[in-house]
Structure 1
Amino acid sequence: MKFPAAAISLAISSLIFAVASAQLHFRLRETTTSSYLTKEEHWMNQTIDHFSPYDRREFLQRYYEYLDEFRSPDGPIFLKICGESVCSGISNDYIGVLAKKFGAAVVSLEHRYYGKSYPFGSFSTENLRYLSSKQALFDLALFRQYYQESLNAKLNKSTDNPWFVFGISYAGAMSAWFRLKFPHLTCGSLASSGVVLAVYNFTKFDEQVGESAGPECKAVLQEITSLVEQRLESNQKELKKLFNAPMVEKHVYPFLLIGLIPIKRRRLLVFSGRCSSDSGTFSYSYQMMATYSKKAGEDLVEAYAKYVKEYYIDYIGVDVDTYDQQQLKKDKISSSSSSARLWWFQVCTEVAYFQVAPANDSIRSSKLDTRQVYIYYVPTAKRLPFLLIYHLDLCKKVFGDDLPGPDVNATNLYYGGKDIAVPAYIIKCHNCGHGSDMRGCPQSRLVPKGDAKNCSSPDAVNKVRQNIITYIDQWLSECQFSGVSAM
């Protein structure tokens, strides 16, 4: 029996432009162990280079398993892909609900190089040559084989369990690509906000922010960007201090990114002291942002800085240092700051996702282009003009002049881009938020069991989740009937 559509994609506005920030990678601050189904570590030996017929070197790769809901011995196995950050456990989000519904075991493999799953003793550019989505997909395939064989031995059985793969954002793309490249190893996949299309000049990101903001708020956001640029020229030192970024001295453009963090994550859309967009709704205790602050006659840059510090730096845990090229150049392994360097390497070699300003009516600064040079005179600095260069130039300065830059054409040719050859049901959820079908709304901490009550469109999110359950139920049923064999 042939499988029906074997990948679900929850798109914010469209599958192609579901957002994954190429520059901003943060970790949610951990508060209680209830945020995780499990944090117990397990390890497997993983091949460093899956594409060499001679290289058989290995490294230890970390994974997690959650068996509390498992309907032994034949229940399904849900593989939750960890993406471009430290994987500290299996999050207690909507996958816990799905595990209970289907009697599934949940396993999660940490992405190679991230967290504790690194092959070498440093993250030098030379040592990063095995960091790619292609290598990571083979990691998942071998992990699937390893775990299934271990389970069979433990339960004294010989047949495979049905597997289903999950991922959000870049991990969502990995989920879709895994189904594409290894269709015999999974009954289906869910690609939540999966960014399957590598994009060089990602102007659609900014356009979506403006559309979601609405005309009034968009105008205020554009004014804030202009004011930040002006203060950056006239009094750079004081502006950096205002944003708690006094040490970002070498290069001023990462600081400009810090000022634009909320714009990049689609969160600065305010009405009557509430921030609402397709990223959901966040209630401010200080009610001092965008249109509210504008109408109150407050200093927009100071209100903006307050928001950035209290929400993105203190609440979410953004590391300001990761916006400085000097920090990104450091190849020493550090769980707190290495993820940014690792993701930039993937950005600079495979997928780009360079978020740049559209030609007209932009919210973000046009000074952060893929490759442009701007000269700024800082009267108070009493020093020579400096160059404001970004994206491709960052790639070369951080990883070396020999790095040619991301080959997005090759990436899209390999995976199919927006024309990925996997039958799929695309479920659109307007005003739902990035990955909100699996983890609730991203403006709040991870809510146990993925409760959608804090979303701006809880009914829409719940409707998507009902569709997800329907499709998974159908695909698992057919997959069990067909019988997926081991590798």
Structure 2
Amino acid sequence: MAFEACRLPLCKFTLLFLFSLFVFGKTQHKGFGRFNQEQHSSTADVFGEQWFLQKLDHFNGADSREWKQRYFVNEAFYKPGGPVFLMIGGEGPANPAWMQSGTWLTYAEKLGALCLMLEHRFYGKSHPTADLSNDNLRFLSSRQALADLAHFRTVMAEDRGLTNSKWVAFGGSYPGSLAAWFRLKFPHLVHASVATSAPLHATVNFPEYLEVVWRSLASENAECPLLVKKASDTLFERLKDPKTYDNITKDFSLCSKLQIQTERDSAYLLETLAGNFMDVVQYNEDNRAFEGVVGTNVTIKVLCGVMGDTSLGDPYARYAAVSRLMMDTFSIKCLDASFDNYLRDMTNTSWEGAAAGGGRQWVYQTCTEFGFYQSTDSPNQPFSGFPLVFHVQQCADFYNVSAEQVAEAVAQTNEYYGSYGISSSRIVFPNGSIDPWHALGITQGTNPDLPAVFIKGTAHCANMYPARAEDLPQLTLARDHVFLLLQQWLKK
């Protein structure tokens, strides 16, 4: 499949859904995307989608409205009396490829588990409302999603005779957070959780993401992030001079001549191009092939190789070469660098809109719950020109949510869930050192009931993917350690 044009960051979320990378909308790194890929038809045929009647508003008893939520079942490994594994969907379509492959199924086969996967409300085919208007999006939150999980677990246990079974929640990225919070808020319903690459601390400003990108690039070559910074700084300066716009349009294969009317136009382009590095770092060498992902061959090593190739010209020219490499990888002919077009797509409230695959929904959740804005406000990162104000202003532009409301919502999230100080038991937190999201997770276990598994040299959710011969020894050990924990916990 080829794309005639690509509007980034919007396009990268679209690529995620179509090719299975990171989520639609604000580029892959903006969401997380463990389950944000549409299923392949052959897989869907084997694990047919099923539908669960769900409440629209779990916190208003006077509201009797209901809707149908999509889920999948794999009974191949189940043995009577065995546990129930519940994979939690996230900020995109639930992909039934996870019903036939992945580490959790290896655990399920060994433990005789029944496997279920529930799609997150407002993503994929799980449409609770007629459209994505601001008024309807008020029903989209992690709290409503946890209530969905609780109701689903209760009814499914009753219907399938699993009331006395021990349920284990699995999730990666945002669903990893949900897995931890499910155990926290509903300990009578879920016995244990595996919360992989789970950001537990909400924060409006998240420049630490780019700081980890710097360190991850430097782990390959100490000069690499310095070259990236020089290139990004050069582009940032050239964007101040309209005389450079024709050359920039050509250098980065923009779909139309670059027009910089406001600082957000500049920030949008700068963030888009930085996203090439952010996305590759986040999923560096993760084994995503079984999902049908394109671009897994583009790694930190590859990007740093381009940035170090003096035959391509100065660092700015090499930066442009990276962009062309990524476009070729995804069969993109030109980039739409217009923020106005992005604004148009993100404010389209139709389920048929360009951002309805997850971008409009996920950015709403960041504005009303999490923040997570990967700004260039830190001096210890390699990019220029997309500060916090650029991100927060989008909350007002898209949803009429002010900066003050964003800050208050983020504070309430940490108050409700506990941030790094989550108080619970039987939750394991695997994280990878290459993954920028580990900066908001638990990477050191201070409580034996809440162990951390910090895997050096691995990226986002690496332990969730199917094992392969070339896996790092520490990744294999991490998977084994999680399994031993599950064995122990299921005996309690």
In 2, Cα distance between the equivalents of 1:278 and 1:228? 33
Which of 318, 330, 333 is matched with 2:348 structurally? Answer: 330
In 2, Cα distance between the equivalents of 1:261 and 1:243? 14
Which of 167, 192, 195 is matched with 1:191 structurally? Answer: 195
The corresponding residue for 1:117 is: 126
Does the 8 A contact of 1:69 with 1:99 survive in 2?
yes
Of residues 423-432 and 236-245 in structure 1, the stretch that sits farther from structure 2 once superposed is 236-245
**357 and 63 in structure 1: CA distance in 2 versus 1, 3 angstrom threshold:** same
- 1:297 is displaced (CA, Å) by 2.3
Which of 431, 435, 440 is matched with 2:461 structurally? Answer: 435
Q: Deviations over 1:437-466 (max 9, x none)?
A: 002xxxxxxxxxx024454xx211100001
Does the 8 A contact of 1:266 with 1:277 survive in 2?
no
**Paired residues, number:** 414
SS in 2 for 1:428: strand
Which of 478, 489, 492 is matched with 1:464 structurally? Answer: 478
Amino acid in structure 2 at the alignment position of 1:202: F
SS in 2 for 1:263: helix
SS in 2 for 1:185: coil
In 2, Cα distance between the equivalents of 1:60 and 1:362? 44
Aligned pairs for 1:193-342 within 5 A: 193-214=197-218, 215-234=222-241, 235-236=244-245, 239-240=248-249, 243=252, 245-246=254-255, 251-265=265-279, 267=281, 283=297, 289-298=303-312, 299-311=317-329, 313-314=330-331, 324-334=342-352, 337-338=355-356, 339-342=358-361
Question: Runs of 5+ in structure 1 lacking a partner?
Answer: 1-19, 153-157, 270-274, 372-389, 440-449, 479-487
1:359 aligns with 2:378: yes
- 1:236 is displaced (CA, Å) by 3.9
The corresponding residue for 1:405 is: 406
TM-score, normalization: structure 1? 0.76
In 2, Cα distance between the equivalents of 1:296 and 1:263? 19
Does the 8 A contact of 1:66 with 1:107 survive in 2?
yes
Q: Deviations over 1:355-412 (max 9, x none)?
A: 11243232122x21112xxxxxxxxxxxxxxxxxx11111101112568325211100
- 1:307 is displaced (CA, Å) by 2.7
Does the 8 A contact of 2:228 with 2:307 survive in 1?
no
SS in 1 for 2:67: strand
Does the 8 A contact of 1:216 with 1:291 survive in 2?
no
Greater per-residue helix proportion: 2
Does the 8 A contact of 1:37 with 1:89 survive in 2?
no
In 2, Cα distance between the equivalents of 1:417 and 1:201? 15
In 1, Cα distance between the equivalents of 2:350 and 2:305? 43
- 1:26 is displaced (CA, Å) by 9.4
In 1, Cα distance between the equivalents of 2:49 and 2:29? 28
Which of 58, 63, 79 is matched with 2:86 structurally? Answer: 79
Superposed CA RMSD: 3.4
Does the 8 A contact of 1:111 with 1:136 survive in 2?
yes
In 2, Cα distance between the equivalents of 1:167 and 1:309? 30
Amino acid in structure 2 at the alignment position of 1:115: G
In 1, Cα distance between the equivalents of 2:191 and 2:65? 31
Does the 8 A contact of 2:34 with 2:172 survive in 1?
no
Which of 352, 364, 380 is matched with 1:345 structurally? Answer: 364
**26 and 276 in structure 1: CA distance in 2 versus 1, 3 angstrom threshold:** closer
The corresponding residue for 2:423 is: 421
- 1:293 is displaced (CA, Å) by 4.3
Aligned pairs for 1:36-185 within 5 A: 38-71=46-79, 73-91=80-98, 92-152=101-161, 159-185=163-189
TM-score, normalization: structure 2? 0.76
Of residues 240-249 and 402-411 in structure 1, the stretch that sits farther from structure 2 once superposed is 240-249
- 1:284 is displaced (CA, Å) by 5.0
- 1:147 is displaced (CA, Å) by 1.2
Larger RCO: Structure 1 or Structure 2 (Cα < 8 Å, ≥ 6 residues apart)?
1
The corresponding residue for 1:396 is: 396
SS in 2 for 1:265: helix
Does the 8 A contact of 1:351 with 1:408 survive in 2?
yes
Q: Deviations over 1:49-107 (max 9, x none)?
A: 11112111111111111111111x22211000001111132512212212211111110
